[in-house]
Amino acid sequence: MKQLDIGVAGAGPAGLAVALFLSRAGHRVEILERFATPAPVGSGLLMQPTGLTVLSALGLFDSIHGLGSRIDRLHGADAVSGRTVLDVRYDAAPGGRYGLAVQRAALFNTLHDAVAADGIRIRTGIELAVSETRGDRAVLKDTQGEMVGDYDLVIDASGARSSLVSGSGSAPTVRNLAYGAFWATLDGQGAAYDKTALSQRYDKAKVMIGLLPAGRVQVHEAERVAFFWSLKVADVEAVKAAGLDRWKAIIRNYWPDCMPFLDQIGDWDQLTLARYAHRTVLPPFSGRLVCVGDSAHSTSPQLGQGANMALLDAAALSHALANHADIASALAAYARARRNHVRLFQLLSLAFTPFYQSDSNAIAWVRDRLVSTIARVPPMPGLLASIVAGTLIDPFGPAGLTECEWRRDYSLLSGMA
Ligand SMILES: Cc1cc2nc3c(=O)[nH]c(=O)nc-3n(C[C@H](O)[C@H](O)[C@H](O)COP(=O)(O)OP(=O)(O)OC[C@H]3O[C@@H](n4cnc5c(N)ncnc54)[C@H](O)[C@@H]3O)c2cc1C
């Protein structure tokens, strides 16, 4: 592949990672971002062995581990009876895998610092509207209709609400989900929580409360914790109108250990409302535009895969461009490389979401009585571990990656052995 001029729309995990891969492969890359100062939105993220392998390929394994909290287990209990209804351990599958919970800001800074160190240009304050293919060029236009860039290839990494494909033959299918969640990043000192687990409490499928140890943004800082409370987006105003104290009382009744976290919340503004949507663009390219990350496929975060899949896309696209002589065949190869993994995990997210966020008491009953029992019978523990790790089918080979050797690589981290 000759050296290409590439415009990357969006400075999220997908955009920053793909820019790093492609700039290192010798292409001229610039990133365009709507924020005046690129900044992460949201709270904690669970990085899986998939995303960690991509970060390792970018030489960022040590830096992300210096900021994250190792997670070995996902544990959920019925808030009323105390019965365990979810217990997935990474080590139920072979390979020594684990998760790493990070604050969004930590992932963003790690990638952004590498982008800055590599001298990749980021043009900020540009709200992009559309990408149009003109012959063998792709132009990007902003919301004023002004042309802001002209490239060999545009990579759409502008997330789940991207409009860039509207100028092409591809149309996304989008389904907004009824349930979202309030999220906050809070101080963990003095609080009782499992430091190696994502812990959740449920009441049927209507209530889900979660605590995720989420590491730090600077190495010297104390660990913080991502707290979340699932609710219907349509109920947000009613919940707020009833008042913060009422909301805290409900959570305290379900899970008293949350009090040290709730005590830190004095205003609704400290909570970010995350809305979820399922979105698919098929195929994830058209002409000289190609989609990576949430702009190609977004799901509810139930399985904690989105950022990891975004990073896998970045690696797979750069691998395809390195191994094909022309852009059209490289984009088709990228789509093929990611197709099965993306489809499988979109399907699994779609299937799992109603078990944790829906109005159905019947589904919650099945989860609490049947699924939790079956989940303990071999080979289910190993299977569930592979689903959570994102490795149920090989995500690495098609993206040109070699999976980390977890035990060895983790033991080589300074201070972690
Ligand atoms: C509450 C919540 C919890 C989650 N938890 C997890 C988890 O535990 N693990 C996990 O792997 N994933 C998780 N996800 C999903 C994950 O956040 C996304 O999949 C991931 O951020 C996708 O990365 P991206 O780079 O494709 O898009 P984004 O992170 O959305 O980044 C898009 C970038 O493009 C910019 N942009 C958008 N529109 C424009 C425009 N018009 N012009 C210019 N720039 C634009 C944005 O400002 C942003 O910088 C979670 C999501 C939510 C909402």
Query: Residue 38: its pLDDT value, please?
Result: 57
User: Is residue 33 in contact with ligand 1, taking CB distance under 6 Å?
Assistant: yes
Protein residue with its CA nearest to atom 15 in ligand 1: 306
Output the average pLDDT for the chain: 94
pLDDT tens across 237-265, in order?
999 999 999 999 999 999 999 999 999 99
The superfamily in CATH containing domain 5-175+276-409 is FAD/NAD(P)-binding domain (3.50.50.60)
Instruction: Return the structure tokens found at 287.
Output: 């002409």
pLDDT at 417 over 60: no
Q: Could you give phi then psi for residue 43, rounded to 5 degrees?
A: -115, -110
Distance 159 CA to ligand 1 centre (A): 5
Closest CA to 157 of 287, 343, 16: 16
Q: What is the mean pLDDT of residues 374-400?
A: 96
d(C-alpha 400, C-alpha 395), whole Å = 9
Looking at the chain, the whole-number percentage of residues with pLDDT higher than 90 is 87
Backbone torsion region of residue 190, taken as left when φ is above 0, otherwise alpha when ψ lies between -120 and 50, otherwise beta: left
Distance 301 CA to ligand 1 centre (A): 11
pLDDT at 151 over 80: yes
pLDDT at 399 over 60: yes
User: Is residue 400 in contact with ligand 1, taking CB distance under 6 Å?
Assistant: no
d(C-alpha 63, C-alpha 114), whole Å = 10
Peptide bond into 283 cis (omega under 30): yes
Q: What is the mean pLDDT of residues 321-327?
A: 97
d(C-alpha 119, C-alpha 187), whole Å = 35
Other C-beta atoms closer than 10 Å to the C-beta of 242 total 12
User: Is residue 76 in contact with ligand 1, taking CB distance under 6 Å?
Assistant: no
Number of residues in the chain:
417
Other C-beta atoms closer than 10 Å to the C-beta of 52 total 27
Protein residue with its CA nearest to atom 51 in ligand 1: 301
DSSP, res 328: H
The Cα angle at residue 106 between residues 260 and 244, in degrees rounded to 5: 30
Residue-wise DSSP of 352-407 = HHHHHSSS-HHHHHIIIIIIHHHTTSTTHHHHHHHHHHT-SS--SGGGT-----HH
Query: Which atom of ligand 1 sits closest to the CA of residue 295?
Result: 26
Distance 280 CA to ligand 1 centre (A): 15
d(C-alpha 28, C-alpha 363), whole Å = 51
Closest CA to 158 of 132, 129, 179, 136: 129
Distance 287 CA to ligand 1 centre (A): 24
- Asked if residue 375 lies in contact with residue 86, where contact means CB atoms within 8 angstroms, the answer is yes
Residues of the chain by 3-state class (helix, strand, coil), percent to 5: 40, 25, 35
Query: Residue 170: its pLDDT value, please?
Result: 78
User: Is residue 158 in contact with ligand 1, taking CB distance under 6 Å?
Assistant: yes
Query: Which atom of ligand 1 sits closest to the CA of residue 308?
Result: 11
Instruction: Return the structure tokens found at 200.
Output: 């959740």
Distance 183 CA to ligand 1 centre (A): 15
Query: Which atom of ligand 1 sits closest to the CA of residue 10?
Result: 34
Instruction: Name the residue type at position 221.
Output: E
Q: Could you give phi then psi for residue 395, rounded to 5 degrees?
A: -90, -10
DSSP, res 90: G
Distance 15 CA to ligand 1 centre (A): 10
d(C-alpha 145, C-alpha 360), whole Å = 45
DSSP, res 343: H
- Asked if residue 227 lies in contact with residue 258, where contact means CB atoms within 8 angstroms, the answer is yes
pLDDT tens across 404-416, in order?
999 999 999 965 5
Distance 248 CA to ligand 1 centre (A): 28
Distance 190 CA to ligand 1 centre (A): 31
d(C-alpha 183, C-alpha 185), whole Å = 7
| Chain-centroid distance, C-alpha 311 | 9
Other C-beta atoms closer than 10 Å to the C-beta of 367 total 23
Instruction: Return the structure tokens found at 41.
Output: 């939105």
Protein residue with its CA nearest to atom 2 in ligand 1: 301
